[in-house]
Amino acid sequence: MTGTTVAVAQFAPGTEDNVPAITRLVAEAAGRGARLIVLPEYSAWFEAPFSDALMSHAESLDGPFTRELSRLAERFGVWIVAGLIERAEGTRVHNTVVAVDARGVQAAYRKQHLYDAFGDRESDRIAPGALDRPQLFRLDDLTFGLMTCYDLRFPESARVLLDAGADVIVVPAEWVRGPLKEDHWSTLVRARAIENTAFVVAADQTPPIGVGRSMIVDPSGIVLAALGTQEAVALATLDRAELERVRQVNPALELRRFRVAPRSEHAG
């Protein structure tokens, strides 16, 4: 079968060294043929709720965590997407997702929509990313675009990626458990695929905080691969011919009459 094989790899990051778990998941996914492995938001370090320890675990984009990801990418011949805590100016940090290959960081996205909802206040400790150019990377004949978790609730985030040329929306997440949250997760992941006629690769943290249920969805909204609530890996092959077929049948991107423009007062 032609196409690019990708994997979602879900686990529950904690406050200790998460590299061994990441290595185990990357090794499994690569051994099963994955060219890209997508890990959750906050893969490098996570606690709930956040404490003052958060600042001490913030790194630069060329820090120890991304260097370790690059070593893993070189060792297994893959690309890796994962979340980390990045240093920022002032008293807050960035919630950042990176796409890494053997050369290092090739794309870095700082979360723009912060999770100030359902009783949480991510913005107390996290600074929003600037509304700058979409973060994309190319693998084989597909263009991948980065977004994060709560961004799923804002269709504009995905549409900006599509306007920039993305074929695949990549979503590392820490989708917090709660009433109806599993349903929101699966509905929104599929909706972003359907309305954009794009593949979506969404990797969540597992319980006790996240819902798990990582999935890979095709441009018609069909779930190609999905997981439950345990640490695990799932793979699917993304075929450009299928993407083009769906967009020919449903040319929604060509037929739309509106563009996305940022609200300057929320420019970060």
41 in active site: yes
Tokens found for residue 197: 């006629």
What is the side-by-side order of every strand in the sheet holding 104-110? 104-110, 94-101, 79-86, 36-38, 4-10, 232-238
Give the closest residue to 241 by CA, choosing from 222, 263, 214, 219: 219
Residue reference for tokens 């709930």: 48
Q: Are 22 and 54 in contact (CB under 8 A)?
A: no
Neighbours of 48 (CB within 10 A): 14
Active-site hit among 122, 149, 174, 242: 149
Cα separation, 172 vs 38, whole angstroms: 7
Q: Are 88 and 108 in contact (CB under 8 A)?
A: no
**HSE (side-chain half, CA atoms, 13 Å) at 109:** 30
149 in active site: yes
Tokens found for residue 154: 């804002």
Active-site hit among 59, 68, 111, 174: 111
122 in active site: no
C-alpha Rg value of the chain to the nearest Å: 17
Using H for helix, E for strand and C for coil, what is the string for 140-198? CCEEEEECCHHHHHCHHHHHHHHHCCCCEEEEECCCECCCCHHHHHHHHHHHHHHHHCC
What amino acid positions are annotated as catalytic residues?
41, 111, 149
